[in-house]
Chains A and B, each alone.
Chain A
């Protein structure tokens, strides 16, 4: 006889979206009605999963034992839908729930044969992409294993079975359309000249209370609608100023080109590219032929004051013979010339120099300083995707299921994981420093310019531009630097593909998010989003619930009509922002963040890599604590407002004082 149970369908949709492996702690949230209703039903029904719109149950097995590495074996019902694997047991109070998206499954293996004896020796082992393994034991006589196995193989790997990913069947409707978060034209224009903006604000054409750049940017976003509250006589003046000031890009040195509108110049690049103004489209084609996979240098970011830029590309096709391209050399010169502040340009090659050299044999290579005048080449020593994959594998070994007791630190060191994180951060730091302090333009590339390059540019943008530290800004950053510039999510993650040993898989994006987390640790008030936001992004990197991380390029996404057929992750996130907001966020105006890329400040992200271990779980989930803080802040602010109102009331009608207000007895210390 169960007393209370946790049923996710009774909760907000957020609860059911996020995978969990825990004793459900939300049992008290039930209305008494529901409890009564449920108690009349059978046990098995209570062990059914909640379903999302579009989700259907494909298989169900009773009397399955989940062998939890932390709390021991537990018996319950295992359900497979076209979206998730769901295990629930009423044996414990509150009921035990394991809820994982099928997208997270890396491989499924059978353990033991029908003849195997011994308890729990016959079943399935499920290896997941999010640093955990799940083991289930079936009763050999129950014949449930085979069908569960087959259904898992079918629905966890739909791509291998010519089935659609669940994202195409998910029918949830959110108030906001996340596919509209990023508009390249507006994003390039956003990178405006702040001085000019200030001038606009100085003549008070629009009412902006604060002069912070952040609010200025928000104001710019509002301007998109052109429904401006501008008084009539000033409208023309305003419009002129606005057009003038919005010359982030295009400006006198950079233009937006539509040469890649049909993805013919480069099939892994977006349709709209920002390129130097004096390089005509014809020449771009010749530059493209000299850059691996046609990935020419294009603008990522422009410094609002110095006009120093960050451009990204792939390696030049130098080859063993040391080929040169006049167009490419001229192109880089044009990038340098667009920044009057410096007579130098830095080329950051993300690879170790050995690998850059080795690439010559394959026709690739790096820019020689002889051919590119005024250019200085720096290797950032970041290793390739295979090294990173291996590093993560080692990391999993020492944290799952058990944390290595002895020699924790040297074990951690031997995974090299944090060392890789350090090098990526250090590389981004160098780039940011050159642009900010050196006022020098930089070009960033690795081999193809979609892995390490994306990590480097997006992290340095995060350091340089506070806009990207807001929730929406970060979404734009991911859309721009990762999705539009063709990070191969499909290959690196292997969505719905059963080929788990594929050498193209690598935790490149995970590393980026880890670096961001390290930055949020070092600067706890500089980011509008919280840890839960980052974990949510990673969970849905694998879940295949949203279309955001599907496919490997903009071209493919357009071809698959993802914006029409799937829901964007940002729709979900932006519809419940409060869950993802860091209450301590302070929007510093135009503040460059330099993280310290030293092991002394780097930490293993326990909240992600070791989150399945109940011992390492924070007492209350992090975001709850944040929410609590938020509530406290709101309470404080409300109080402040009350006080203010009271003051004004009293000052206006000091005569009508009936009784002394029983206000503000709480000492401040207790409130906060």
Chain B
């Protein structure tokens, strides 16, 4: 019962296959080649499935095979002749027609033109299957031409494996880790914060005062399963506590808002698209998602103000200290510390505040379908907020919005351990448990930060911002020393000339205020009285009136017009929203072209020196003829080859209150009198 390419599964594995699937074993034709990852097993399949091309409501599409493995749902195109236009940006793990089981959001069946949500056991099988993905892709499969038996198998298989509760150890993560060769990349620049040394380095880097000590009291997770970090209890009055659960929306509100919001982008067809276009802004507002982003950014600015201007330590409080605390503390660091705006710095930040910090990724993403109540897109909220900063100040970030988009997609790729545990403790436990069973050495999980697993160097170039205003003297030598040197200036973004009224001990300390003071605590504190609401405004305005230093403090503008929809992530699969030859990619292409030109010349120069060129040169993607690229690039490459404009079909809304104006003529002259 193995897929063609799969290796023999380790005996320790629980079978994923439900009994009815076991007996049916048809010879697998090789006309379609299903690519299986190590540890991946084919579970069920159906042939002559018709996949619609999402376009203008026409029934165009292709026939192929729909399969479900323990890792993904995949559609294998029968006439996959599209090899000639090899996409420039390809995910090595997840193909264009692959959906990882964790990426499946909702599955609908169509019965007599009616859509019905599919969960659990089915009595009747649908003629059409619509799969909505968490990365906002929408797949439409027609099962009308498929054998009934196969329909039953594939539909129940897909629902079973993607929608029903699962045990942690049944995550593909484990079978992959045990089957995959250990090929972890040692060159990873990201600080993982899983050793005491990493924490000491970080404290040193940020020049935290001696009061912070890297402690290892939590070794063995005695204190808390969640906390693996330095905690400081400052007994001083210069401390402001901020209870996030009262000043920010609840997780429930966040989840509700996002659910409504994403619905706006899961478009079934063109009619849908234009029907919602008419009331777009009020629909957007009614989801409340952008407002939540605004409030979170505002809160982060308030915290920055306390640290930066009032020299007050801030203690962020939340029930678990692993959700909004992570969001706010990460945002504050992105705003204050330009190291967090480099790729490795940002990754280290996520590692520190989220992965090691104990954000419950497993529960919040509901990877195991255990409880819908725990689900909340907290990490996505952070990425959405960071995106606002990226689009307001592009030169300040080493990474691009594409980077943030693929990072958000990686939340659902269960070959990386990064986003598949609730805490480091859970990971350690799971690892030792599983390795005991298999009697082998502990697993080596992959980390998402090793981007080479998903993208080849050319594609990775899209993650780097060519317009990044790099620091004048980037020291690229040794990892740790480099980090240390690098940071000394960065961590002190603005040196206030105005001296603090406090003297002595405090003075010392507040001068070196940096992010580590953002302690997190379990439990609730007494909430300090609210600040006058407009002090943050003033703080922003005074900062804004000075020219921006891309390596200093960075504050987002949170006024209505500046909080925008992250178009790349949310519109990338919608053909109607596609701009041929336009979008941000057009600019990127132009800049990359120029870079390539220079680089080629430099290569030539170097050759003159008869120096062997190392393959280390920064890869630049070839984006010739950017007029042909569309704004959906680098995603959704093969959709809609035709270059027809998307013509709005929606009708005009009534101008209820302006009826008299509407009926007026353009001119007051009676035309009939004008006649010859």
Contact = CB atoms under 8 A, between A and B. Distances in A.
B590 A584 contact: yes
B405 interface: no
Given A422-B648, A522-B579, A599-B277, A664 B661 contact: no
Given A409-B282, A600-B577, A522 B582 contact: yes
B282 A410 contact: yes
B658 A390 contact: yes
Contacts of B284: 409
B111 to A, nearest CB: 31
Interface in A281-311: 289, 292-293
Given A292-B674, A523-B582, A615-B544, A601 B577 contact: yes
A578 interface: no
Contacts of A405: 560
Given A384-B661, A390-B658, A403-B560, A586 B582 contact: no
Nearest to A433: B645
Contact of B627 (A355, A383, A586, A620): A586
Contacts of A413: 279-282
Contacts of B578: 596
A410 B285 contact: yes
Contact of B605 (A292, A664, A671): A664
Contacts of B468: 669
B505 interface: no
B114 interface: no
Nearest to A293: B674
Nearest to A583: B590
B626 interface: yes
A403 B561 contact: yes
A639 B586 contact: no
A456 interface: no
The 10 closest A-B pairs by CB, nearest first: A408-B560, A363-B672, A594-B645, A599-B280, A523-B582, A409-B285, A413-B281, A588-B627, A409-B281, A619-B548
Nearest to A382: B652
Contacts of A384: 661-662, 664-666
Interface in A521-548: 522-526
B287 to A, nearest CB: 10
Contact of B581 (A591, A597, A667): A591
Interface stretch (A114-122, A250-258, A644-652): A644-652
5 contacts: A362-B665, A362-B670, A619-B547, A643-B604, A647-B605
A616 B648 CA distance: 31
Interface residues of A, number: 93
B580 interface: yes
B598 A593 contact: no
Contacts of B24: none
Contact of A584 (B560, B587, B674, B675): B587
B576 interface: yes
Contacts of B80: none
Given A289-B675, A451-B666, A423 B652 contact: yes
Given A437-B644, A584-B590, A448 B605 contact: no
A100 interface: no
B290 interface: yes
A412 B281 contact: yes
A667 B620 CA distance: 13
B565 A606 contact: no
Given A386-B664, A615-B557, A669 B580 contact: no
A503 interface: yes
A414 to B, nearest CB: 9
Interface string A403-443: 11101111011001011001100100110110001000000
B18 interface: no
Interface in B564-611: 564-565, 567, 571, 576-584, 586-587, 589-591, 594-595, 597-599, 601-602, 604-606, 608-609
A671 B548 CA distance: 20
B559 A640 contact: no
A667 B581 CA distance: 29
Given A362-B670, A387-B662, A410-B282, 14 more contacts: A355-B662, A381-B651, A390-B661, A407-B285, A413-B282, A416-B655, A447-B667, A524-B586, A588-B581, A594-B580, A596-B578, A598-B280, A603-B564, A610-B561
A591 B653 CA distance: 33
Contacts of A619: 393, 544, 547-548
B277 A668 contact: no
Contact of A597 (B282, B648, B665): B648
A600 B280 CA distance: 7
Nearest to A599: B280
A204 to B, nearest CB: 25
A671 B598 contact: yes
A8 to B, nearest CB: 21
Contacts of A423: 652
A672 interface: yes
A355 B646 contact: no
Interface in A189-230: none
A549 B164 CA distance: 68
Contacts of A594: 580, 643-646
Interface string B396-435: 0000000000000000000000000000000000000000
A640 B560 contact: no
B647 A410 contact: no
Contacts of B470: 669-670
A669 B591 CA distance: 11
Contacts of A448: 666-667
A600 B560 contact: no
B582 A359 contact: no
B641 to A, nearest CB: 14
A156 interface: no
B663 interface: yes
Given A387-B658, A596-B646, A616 B664 contact: no
B478 interface: no
B611 to A, nearest CB: 11
Nearest to A419: B653
B58 interface: no
Nearest to B563: A408
Contacts of A601: 567, 577, 579
Interface string A622-650: 00000000000100100110011011001
A385 B285 contact: no
Interface in B453-488: 464, 466-468, 470, 474
Contacts of A668: 595, 598-599, 602, 618
A364 interface: yes
A447 B666 contact: yes
Nearest to A289: B676
| Residue with the highest number of chain A CB atoms closer than 10 Å, among B545, B561, B576 | B561
Interface in B527-572: 540-541, 544-545, 547-548, 557, 559-562, 564-565, 567, 571
Contacts of B668: 503
A293 B676 CA distance: 10
B647 A408 contact: no
B167 interface: no
Contact of A598 (B285, B576, B595, B627): B576
B664 to A, nearest CB: 5
Given A358-B663, A616-B562, A640-B598, A433 B644 contact: yes
Contacts of A593: 580-582
Nearest to B661: A386
A317 interface: yes
B626 A598 contact: no
| Residue with the highest number of chain B CB atoms closer than 10 Å, among A352, A598, A603 | A598
Nearest to B660: A386
A364 B672 CA distance: 8
B665 A352 contact: no
Interface in B603-653: 604-606, 608-609, 618, 626-627, 631, 643-648, 651-653
B645 A636 contact: no
A614 interface: yes
A595 interface: yes
